[in-house]
């Protein structure tokens, strides 16, 4: 009789544990996964002022709410983009406290889609060979590492016209209009800035 009771208790414990294991497995499956397919045409995202946002976990309302107010902590899954090649994505709480759980991406884009070129936290550099985190960490705490003109970040030599031209010329976007004369000039001016910044970076190398 004791053996039967012991076996019954063991079976009961196993049955109770099974849902808990399934919940844990489901929680692991819900962790944010980011690959080349996580990215899309920047203008298909939600515009907020001069940048775009999305949420890879479906919480676009939460991301848009913070972006629209301009301050506060972004929810997990948030995507913030100013230009097609540079992306910030928010991971779950505690994923990387040093960067407030943001991961930085530098991606290659063409008509076929996106390909991750660089990804990481405090070590990723952008197209200007400037460190992403070194710039964003200057933002005051209430802005959750997002840089805008009055957020505390150092100014960069890129105009709103250049940002807009880059957004509108994203090669991943279908049915995008022809490049206007204004955008063509802005992209040309940006090219000169990129060359100057790269030359300065090369000159500083030992």
pLDDT digits (tens, 9 = 90+) for 124-173: 988 777 899 999 999 999 999 999 999 999 998 899 999 999 999 999 99
Going 145 to 71 to 32 to 93, the CA torsion angle's sign is positive
Higher pLDDT, 70 or 5: 70
DSSP 120-151: ESSS-B-TTS-BHHHHHTTS-GGGTT---TTS
3-state secondary structure of 43: helix
- State the Rg of the chain over Cα: 22
* Residue 191 CB burial class (10 angstroms; 0-12, 13-18, ≥19): exposed
Whether 202 has a pLDDT exceeding 90, the answer reads no
What pTM was computed for the model? Answer: 0.81
């Amino acid at each position: 009789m004791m053996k039967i009771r012991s076996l019954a208790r063991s079976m009961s414990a196993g049955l109770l544990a099974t849902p808990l294991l399934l919940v844990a497995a489901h929680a692991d499956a819900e962790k944010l996964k980011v690959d080349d397919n996580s990215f899309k045409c920047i203008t298909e995202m939600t515009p907020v002022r001069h940048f775009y946002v999305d949420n890879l976990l479906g919480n676009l309302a939460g991301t848009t709410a913070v972006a629209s107010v301009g301050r506060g902590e972004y929810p997990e899954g948030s995507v913030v983009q100013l230009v097609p090649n540079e992306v910030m994505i928010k991971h779950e709480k505690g994923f990387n406290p040093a960067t407030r759980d943001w991961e930085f991406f530098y991606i290659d884009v063409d008509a076929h889609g996106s390909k991750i070129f660089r990804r990481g936290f405090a070590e990723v550099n952008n197209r200007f060979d400037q460190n992403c985190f070194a710039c964003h960490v200057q933002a005051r705490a209430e802005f959750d590492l997002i840089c805008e003109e009055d957020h505390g970040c150092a100014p960069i030599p890129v105009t709103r016209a250049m940002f807009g031209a880059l957004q509108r010329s994203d090669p991943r976007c279908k049915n995008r209009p022809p490049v206007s004369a204004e955008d063509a000039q802005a992209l040309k001016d940006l090219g000169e800035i990129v060359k100057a910044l790269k030359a300065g970076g090369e000159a500083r190398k030992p």
